[in-house]
Amino acid sequence: MSSTTNSPTHHTSTIGSIGTPSRRNTELALLVFAVVIPVFAYANVGLAINDELPAGLLSYGLGLGLLAGVGHLAVRKFAPYADPLLLPLATLLNGLGLVVIWRLDQSKRLSANYPDAAPRQLLYSALGVALLVAVLIFLKDHRVLQRYTYISMAGAMLLLVLPLIPGISAPTYGAKIWIKIPGLGTLQPGEFAKIALAVFFAGYLMVKRDALALASRRFMGLYLPRGRDLGPILVVWVLSILILVFETDLGTSLLFFGMFIIMLYVATERTSWIVFGLLMSAAGAVGVASFEPHVQQRVQAWLDPMNEYLLSRKGIYGHTEQSMQALWAFGSGGTLGTGLGQGNSDLIGFAANSDFILATFGEELGLAGVMAILLLYGLIVERGIRTSLAARDPFGKLLAVGLSGAFALQVFVVAGGVMGLIPLTGMTLPFVAYGGSSVIANWALIGILLRISDTARRPAPAPAPNPDAEMTQVVRPS
């Protein structure tokens, strides 16, 4: 069987693994756009603010182009059948994020208090792409990760506990999710824990999924899991609650729990898990909100941002005008936005270039721009789930859907929070927001998805010579 022949009947196939073209040239063409668009945006900001092309235009363009080129070559060499959309999408988002961070660096309101962030973000992006390349080089097959199921769990736990340890903890504005690395700055271990936990869940569920799925009682139309099978879900639930209570980080807590429920559902195909998951997260959230003032305040700010703004203006401690400022930024942007560099989203102040960066897109690129950004995220997620569908092994399927689902939840929690759809939680918008941990971890995430998709789409190796070959026919699902 030749890998280059491609039967027309395969177009409708969800597996589509045999005879798939590599699509590397498609990726390259898309990458050109993913580099050129941010370069134009960068020039746009410079012209809007200083009436001249920014001095760093060439080096910035070359830098981003280099990152894209290195990523592309690594994929071409080490994962030639990988999904052609993931790398350009991530590059485009990262590039636009850099432009907006640089634009906020130019703000007079912010520059007095914060050092320039764009050069550092470029460095983080380079580290992220380096990690992507490392993943592609050293992770020849994602199934290798299966061996590290429990090590991943221990690693994730350690990462999550680190911000609580005095001495290396660096609490900032109410949330204890950062740690200090002497000489290097701060790190948000939660971002890396996300990947480690996905690996653990995938490995664990792959082994236990039959027990969880089949050994259950039917009650009121739902399959109730056995008590002993409830163990792991309870552990994860408790873990999420603990994160919420001790690190006062609603977003990460929601993210981990949501990711686990998604993977559990995919592994067991039991709707009852979704029902349980929703009930437990609701109970947990309400329970914690009843005694945790930080969470209560976030909910208040969500319900009545204007009141929160006025309280903050009066100088009452513990209130922030950011939510309202973000809403004003979105509203002032309108349909088409003010144009890059011409808005006032820097009124948001602290975290304008990280948690609230979407508001700058909203004001300066308008409804059109934000919808485009959201659709780019949607595409990444759907390509991730497509990879999961195409994956031939359950571990790969679970890992891909876990990472994609977590990515989707993170985007929803951050963007929904900034736009006032749900209470605000301190999380970063993947690739776009300023923050080393987030950028590096998400590039690694893309690396793993690329690896799984490469394995999934790679043509099956030619079968070993089989004496019966001539008498058997390959029956493909179509």
Partner 1 sequence: MNKPLRRIALFCGFLVLALLIRDNWLQYVKADELRTDTDNRRVAIERYATPRGDIIVDGKAITGHKETTTGDFKYKRTYKDGAMWAPVTGFVSQAYGANQLEYIEDGILTGNDDRLFFRNTLDMITGKPKEGGNVVTTLNAAAQKAAYEGLSKRGKGAVVALEPSTGKILALASYPSYDPGTIAGGGDSDAEAWKKLDKKNNPNDPMLNRALREVYPPGSTFKVVTAAAALQNGLYSSADENTKSPLPWTMPGTTTPLKNEGNIPCKNATLRVALQWSCNTVFGKAGYDLGNDKMLDEAKKFGFTEEQFTPVRSSASVFSDNMNDSQVALSSIGQYNTAATPLQMAMVASAVANDGKLMKPYMVDELQAPNLDTIAKNDPAELSQPLSPDNAQILQSMMETVVEKGTGKTAQIGNGVTVGGKTGTAQHGENNSKNPYAWFISYAKLADGSKPVAVAVVVEDESAVRENISGSGLAAPIAKSVMEAVINSKK
Q: To the nearest whole angstrom, how small is the minimum distance from the Cβ of residue 436 to partner 1?
A: 25
Name which position in 69, 232, 339, 416 contacts partner 1 (CB under 8 A).
416
Q: To the nearest whole angstrom, how small is the minimum distance from the Cβ of residue 367 to partner 1?
A: 4
Beta bridge mates, 218: 223
What proportions of the chain, in percent to the nearest 5, are helix, strand and coil?
70, 5, 30
Q: To the nearest whole angstrom, how small is the minimum distance from the Cβ of residue 362 to partner 1?
A: 6
- Tell me the window of 70-78, 129-137, 285-293, 332-340 that interacts with partner 1 (CB under 8 A): 332-340
DSSP SS3 for 377: helix
- Tell me the window of 115-123, 154-162, 249-257, 366-374 that interacts with partner 1 (CB under 8 A): 366-374
Q: What type of residue is 463?
A: P
Within 8 A by CB and 6+ apart from 143, the residues are: 393, 395, 396
- Tell me the window of 195-203, 259-267, 286-294, 438-446 that interacts with partner 1 (CB under 8 A): 259-267
Beta bridge mates, 223: 218
- Tell me the window of 195-203, 232-240, 290-298, 417-425 that interacts with partner 1 (CB under 8 A): 417-425
What is the C-alpha to C-alpha distance for residues 117 and 367, in angstroms, rounded to an integer? 26
Q: Which residue has the tokens 């640089």?
A: 102
Using CB under 8 A as the binding rule, whether residue 12 contacts partner 1 is answered as no
Decide whether 49 or 389 has the Cβ nearer to partner 1: 389
Q: To the nearest whole angstrom, how small is the minimum distance from the Cβ of residue 165 to partner 1?
A: 34
Using CB under 8 A as the binding rule, whether residue 385 contacts partner 1 is answered as yes
How many residues sit in the footprint of partner 1 (CB under 8 A)? Answer: 52
Using CB under 8 A as the binding rule, whether residue 370 contacts partner 1 is answered as yes
DSSP SS3 for 167: coil
Q: What type of residue is 447?
A: G
Q: To the nearest whole angstrom, how small is the minimum distance from the Cβ of residue 363 to partner 1?
A: 9
- Tell me the window of 193-201, 291-299, 397-405, 465-473 that interacts with partner 1 (CB under 8 A): 397-405
Beta carbons within 10 angstroms of residue 151's beta carbon: 14
Q: Which residue has the tokens 């990947």?
A: 195
What is the C-alpha to C-alpha distance for residues 118 and 370, in angstroms, rounded to an integer? 21
- Tell me the window of 46-54, 68-76, 248-256, 263-271 that interacts with partner 1 (CB under 8 A): 263-271
Using CB under 8 A as the binding rule, whether residue 208 contacts partner 1 is answered as no
What is the C-alpha to C-alpha distance for residues 380 and 439, in angstroms, rounded to an integer? 15
Beta carbons within 10 angstroms of residue 19's beta carbon: 15
Name which position in 397, 451, 457, 458 contacts partner 1 (CB under 8 A).
397
Using CB under 8 A as the binding rule, whether residue 266 contacts partner 1 is answered as yes
8 Å CB contact between 173 and 425: no
CA distances from 307 to 310, 315, 399, 415 (A): 5, 13, 43, 21
Binding site for partner 1 (CB under 8 A): 14, 108-109, 262, 265-267, 269, 306, 309-310, 324, 327-328, 330-335, 344, 347, 362, 366-367, 370-371, 374-375, 377-378, 381-382, 385-386, 388-389, 394, 397-398, 401, 404-405, 408-409, 411-412, 415-416, 419-421
